[in-house]
Amino acid sequence: YPGILGHESCGTIIETGKKVRNFKKGHRVLRVMASVPGYSSFWGGLAEYGAITDVKACKEDRVPPDPATSHQGQQVVPKEIDPVTATQLITLKETLSVLRKFKLKTGSSVLIMGTGPVGLSFIYLARKVIGASPVAALDKEDETLKRAPALGASFVVNSAKENATEELREFRGTGFDLIIDTTGSADLIRLGLENVSTNGKVEIYGTVNKDAEPVKPLKQDKRVVEIPPEEAVPHSEILKLIAGKTIDPSRLITHVLSIDDIAEAFDLIKSRKAIKVVLKI
């Protein structure tokens, strides 16, 4: 603190440097970053102006890219995709990159624990793109859990109101091929281990402090993995899925507000009335 807020962003290039070769004025680009001396930056997506780096040109010219303005996810978005929708591409690419690592196939069973923006994205892609079935969802909040069926979940369980282990075993006695915890909770990772199939995996996707004592011993289990997302990898695939109308990123956006209404945006998120809020600057 003080810091520049904003994580997932989309901006339009208004000026390029002399040595930039892979971006052009007018290009719509993801992951615009803001870096101001004396301020911390959480990617700076809520800044009015930011910068990106032509990493490819840097490599060709043997110049190290500036980490304050470079990111693997700085990729061009076609003009057919509006900026509001484009912001959701970042989460979709991250989650699809992880799903692809598990070599799932049509009919693979998947359980997603946590139904925030990331969890719902996993549900949507697992069902619509991978063809997983069944896809189950677990959360302790009805407000977010109720959105899961429309995105592909055929079974939902509220762990705050029901015995999750009993409900899941009754639904899927043989366990799930893949279980993804999007929260970083040791309790949910244990729950996952109780409900994973014989050759299945439990993916820790939620942010976990590497020294968190409750999680540390769980990582010793060979069924537990922690595969990081590779956001840039499925860029072309996601664009093709959108162009072919296989997926619609806007289904995961619940509110679009002006930057002037930022306080309302945070209130909506805090009250769990919103899943994904996009702020227009």
Does residue 233 form part of some domain?
Answer: no
Q: Which long-range contacts (CB under 8 A, 24 or more apart) does 246-250 make?
A: 246/128, 246/129, 247/92, 247/124, 247/125, 247/128, 247/129, 249/81, 249/85, 249/86, 249/88, 249/89, 249/92, 250/84, 250/85, 250/88
The answer on 71 and 21 residing in a single domain is yes
The answer as to whether 262 is a domain residue is yes
Per the domain annotation, does 145 fall within a domain? yes
Residue 101: inside a domain:
yes
> Is 244 a member of any domain?
no
What pLDDT, on the 0 to 100 scale, is given for residue 201?
A: 98
170 shares a domain with 68: no
* 21 and 124 within one domain: no
281 residues of the chain, pLDDT tens digit each: 788 888 899 999 999 999 999 999 999 999 999 988 888 777 888 999 999 999 999 999 999 998 888 889 999 999 999 999 999 999 999 999 999 999 999 999 999 999 999 999 999 999 999 999 999 999 999 999 999 999 999 999 999 999 999 999 999 999 999 999 999 899 999 999 999 999 999 999 987 666 577 888 999 999 999 999 999 999 999 999 999 999 999 999 999 999 999 999 999 999 989 999 999 99
216 in the same domain as 99: yes
- Do 63 and 103 sit in the same domain of this protein? no
List beta partners, residue 66. none
Cα(43)–Cα(71) distance, integer angstroms = 9
Positive or negative, the CA dihedral 229, 232, 235, 236 is negative
CATH number for the domain spanning 98: value is 3.40.50.720
Q: Are residues 273 and 219 in the same domain?
A: no
The confidence score (pLDDT) of residue 44 equals 86
Please report whether residue 234 resides in a domain: no
Shared-domain flag, residues 68 and 115: no
Tokens in use for 46? 């809520």
Q: Are residues 164 and 183 in the same domain?
A: yes
pLDDT on residue 214: 85
Please state, in angstroms and rounded to a whole number, the distance separating the CA atoms of residues 281 and 272.
Answer: 23
Q: What is the pTM of this model?
A: 0.94
Do 211 and 255 lie in a common domain? no
CATH of the domain at 7: 3.90.180.10
Residue 97 lies in a domain: yes
Domain that holds residue 165: 89-225
211 with 274, same domain: the answer is: no
Residues forming beta bridges with residue 180, ordered by sequence position = 112, 203
Say whether both 187 and 61 belong to one domain: no
> Can you tell me whether residue 271 is helix, strand or coil?
coil
Tell me how many domains the chain contains.
Answer: 2
Same domain, 217 and 117: yes
pLDDT of residue 37: 81
Residue 210 pLDDT = 62
Tell whether 232 is covered by a domain.
no
